[in-house]
Structure 1
């Protein structure tokens, strides 16, 4: 994966996510920060869709990648500042400062204090956000178009409200407090890898869209069509095209992966295992013929293990082949994608697990592919 660094600036180059050094800049920073928090919370589905792919589904929530659940990480100090605004309580630092938007200056926020949580999908890192869910093969155009759009839509709502206000500062203070309170659930500074976060996120009402079909199912929701069409980013026809293309590509990629796995099992792994079984069997027979009373215990134990595993792999291959055939029968791309996600991928994992058990039992000369050790140290 990769980290997509995202911020906003004026036409004169002023970074709108730079914490303020004056009361006015403080208010500006908090307003834009609040807009982003609201935008992310209300559009978790769109952000997840923007990074959805067959490969990224495997990565999210594993291999040091953020989880599929979208949340915002602010760091302890900025989190405490927003909490003080939400609860109308003093900011809990040494001076016990009570934050008043547009009056106080934000405390200095060291950049390293906002970037300690590598498990967050959307983390504030001093003067920008890092969207860490983007897959390595994905273009950043889609995620950035989504981020720009959802924040622009939210800022439009804020502008409509504030432009009508008779007392701008009071209205600004009320808006920031109201929206921070309403979208507090999206803020999470904890460990995104922890299993308890899945339960906590469910309690908070956050989406856990584990697979591309789960995510893309929300793409044509009315709120999403309204957002993109009102902004003039996409037409409804274009969105329907995106929907079909995402699903079709997902199905094609997985079809290639399944066909490849079946070929590897049938043309390489099983034949190599059979050859090695034949070698060990011949060695055991020859040993007993040449050495009276020889037990050939090691060879027989190895043969028992290999025989059980190759039969199990053949069964898993048959199951996978059946699941794959059923999935391809679906003419509707969403139905096909769900079949791949719910049935085929688990069947692939089961077949791979058995093949992984066979691999260390084979002699190096009989292995059809380089091992991890070969790939890392020898090739």
Structure 2
């Protein structure tokens, strides 16, 4: 950006951004079409297929979607033809197999419907074979050594259980076909294949338990997901003046403003008008794509917001979550915002999570994690809930590993996020039920009672039987479990795969124990209680209803209960290499040992690269932006007659000197990196490099509070968080 023939300084850019925002013309609000008119209009839904396909093709597709049954190849040709006609009627000239590699992003390659005939005329074609299979390069995505440049072939394959849709962009419309991604040798290179496999494993194990419990009609079981998405919005002009936000997704420097979130006045407050206009536009786009956005509101931190969709089957919910994040960023840009999905973009205020609400059910037995009004009598619920308790206890380190990232490390354990120790919160009523089963003295649980405020005009209502615990990483919340430790930028697929797979393992264990109890002559109730009693004796240590932030819990969890505390990604990721975890995925058929090893390699590499990018940015910004501002301030002070012995010049000089000394140490640390193992490399970055980055930031943030405001080159927290 050039100003009067000279490059614009950082401070000029910052103040110009503020001026531009203040004089911007307000966005005009407009009435939008009704939900009935726009809902899923850009989705090749079952309703659309019923209109477009032959009866036999539609029947086959419906069976595949509902049960996961194989789809006959000849049906694919019918679907492809109908899908092409529908998409082209909406203006699409291209199609894309959209897939989800082992990152938290999406990938797509656009192909035209167009081909030429011998006469040179353009015609359109989209056959079943083109629908079923695509062929991107398998070695150009993170693959954990599964694919090399000399063995690069990879395939995408259509997932008929997740609906195709139209993505509208300023450059036109594209037919998007949700797909899996695999190597030529058949290994999963994506996040969708393991999710589909984990659901199949869970369904198979659940069918065994329900059959033993005397259920006769058992529809295919699916896990469901509803992911609450937190995010920050700042004006894009501020973001463009911050290299750290652009390249790392968070502020590597920034002093806390005089006012942050301490007044608790932002949470559920009135949504700023400009943000409300963005939300309305964003949600209209979601509705057209059949994504059921249900709730939006201000979150706790200034500039932070949340959107929560309604529950969907896990596979579709995972696809929709990826699409939601993409749309959130592009729509924010349209409205002059920059959307931050980083777990901790601003120090000193709450970070962002993605609470994954997870349950299991089907069309015949319903939600199997719904206790009903008398959970002590609901044997299916008790068995499935017990299976979750066992799974979290046995595979807590796995659950910690699948939410591990360089960005989530900044959030876990802080006041807005659960600790890195995995425990289960059940609430008073359920905890009492399971404890009674363990001790062999089951009592009728008490209800929550009526909420009566003593005000005649306020209607009384039934209070929930238990409170909520916001410090629990894995909490029961009425008819589902909420995995609260998932990071805001992460794909929900990894956590869903882990939860489905651990549940499958626990249900297999329960089925084996249950069968033995029934064969011994016990009736179903006695057999179920006997199995749950044994389960609780082995695994109740993971149940905790107290303050998860307290130092006493951290001590007790590790020393007395044998739970693992993995505060950083360097501590957490090695769990993927443990024998018990390898056998879990192998025995359930979700991931082969080779596929699991590739994931450790990919996630470890992403951690290393993320921290190293941040470290290099810290060095660059401290050297080229912050130090020059300090020197310029000292020079201006000297020109007015102040000496370095005079405060605040003394403080500025000392802080600048300390900062650059830490920069030298960090530079030397990065240049000396030589490690025998990936684990050693991650540990060095987590412990040594990040500590040096904190030292640099401490000095830099002090400088921000001392250097003249008109010389400071970076947009400040007070501007980014409060100017909307």
TM range (shorter): 0.7 to 0.9
The answer on 1:177 being equivalent to 2:533 is yes
Equivalent residue, structure 2, for 1:146: 498
2:640 alignment partner, SS class = helix
Equivalent residue, structure 1, for 2:26: none
Equivalent residue, structure 2, for 1:253: 610
2:500 alignment partner, SS class = helix
Shift of 1:20: 3.8
The answer on 1:355 being equivalent to 2:700 is yes
Equivalent residue, structure 2, for 1:212: 569
Shift of 1:217: 1.2
Taking the aligned partners of 2:368 and 2:463, their CA distance within structure 1 comes to 16
Taking a change above 3 Å as real, the CA distance of residues 336 and 280 of structure 1, as seen in their structure-2 partners, is same
Q: 1:163 pairs with 515, 525, 533, which one?
A: 515
Taking the aligned partners of 1:229 and 1:116, their CA distance within structure 2 comes to 36
TM-score (norm 2): 0.47
Q: 2:414 pairs with 62, 66, 81, which one?
A: 62
Q: 1:338 pairs with 677, 680, 683, which one?
A: 683
Taking a change above 3 Å as real, the CA distance of residues 310 and 179 of structure 1, as seen in their structure-2 partners, is same
The answer (yes or no) to whether the contact 2:356–2:484 under 8 Å persists in 1 is yes
The answer on 1:10 being equivalent to 2:362 is yes
Taking a change above 3 Å as real, the CA distance of residues 61 and 343 of structure 1, as seen in their structure-2 partners, is same
Taking the aligned partners of 2:413 and 2:478, their CA distance within structure 1 comes to 25
Equivalent residue, structure 1, for 2:550: 194
* Structure with higher RCO (Cα < 8 A, 6+ apart): 1
Equivalent residue, structure 2, for 1:290: none
The answer on 1:121 being equivalent to 2:121 is no
The answer (yes or no) to whether the contact 2:354–2:485 under 8 Å persists in 1 is yes
The answer (yes or no) to whether the contact 2:446–2:465 under 8 Å persists in 1 is no
Taking the aligned partners of 1:120 and 1:24, their CA distance within structure 2 comes to 23
The answer on 1:319 being equivalent to 2:665 is yes
2:354 alignment partner, SS class = coil
Equivalent residue, structure 2, for 1:271: 628
2:482 alignment partner, SS class = strand
The answer (yes or no) to whether the contact 2:369–2:480 under 8 Å persists in 1 is yes
Taking the aligned partners of 1:90 and 1:147, their CA distance within structure 2 comes to 29
Shift of 1:71: 0.5
Shift of 1:69: 0.6
TM-score (norm 1): 0.88
1:137-169 deviation digits (Å, cap 9, x = unpaired) = 100001001100000111011112212332243
Taking the aligned partners of 2:472 and 2:376, their CA distance within structure 1 comes to 30
Shift of 1:78: 1.3
The answer (yes or no) to whether the contact 1:111–1:125 under 8 Å persists in 2 is no
Shift of 1:196: 1.7
Q: 2:385 pairs with 33, 36, 41, which one?
A: 33
The answer (yes or no) to whether the contact 2:376–2:445 under 8 Å persists in 1 is no
The answer (yes or no) to whether the contact 2:576–2:600 under 8 Å persists in 1 is yes
The answer (yes or no) to whether the contact 2:354–2:488 under 8 Å persists in 1 is yes
Shift of 1:92: 8.3
Shift of 1:323: 2.1
Taking the aligned partners of 2:678 and 2:523, their CA distance within structure 1 comes to 50
1:43-91 deviation digits (Å, cap 9, x = unpaired) = 0011001101000011100140111110101111211222222223454
The answer (yes or no) to whether the contact 1:80–1:92 under 8 Å persists in 2 is no
Taking the aligned partners of 1:234 and 1:92, their CA distance within structure 2 comes to 42
The answer on 1:224 being equivalent to 2:565 is no
Aligned length: 353
Taking a change above 3 Å as real, the CA distance of residues 353 and 377 of structure 1, as seen in their structure-2 partners, is same
Taking the aligned partners of 1:281 and 1:60, their CA distance within structure 2 comes to 45
1:54 alignment partner, SS class = coil
2:621 alignment partner, SS class = helix
Q: Which moved more, 1:241-250 or 1:12-21?
A: 12-21
Equivalent residue, structure 1, for 2:105: none
Taking a change above 3 Å as real, the CA distance of residues 13 and 23 of structure 1, as seen in their structure-2 partners, is closer
1:43 alignment partner, SS class = helix
The answer (yes or no) to whether the contact 1:115–1:124 under 8 Å persists in 2 is no
Taking a change above 3 Å as real, the CA distance of residues 128 and 262 of structure 1, as seen in their structure-2 partners, is same
Equivalent residue, structure 1, for 2:398: 46
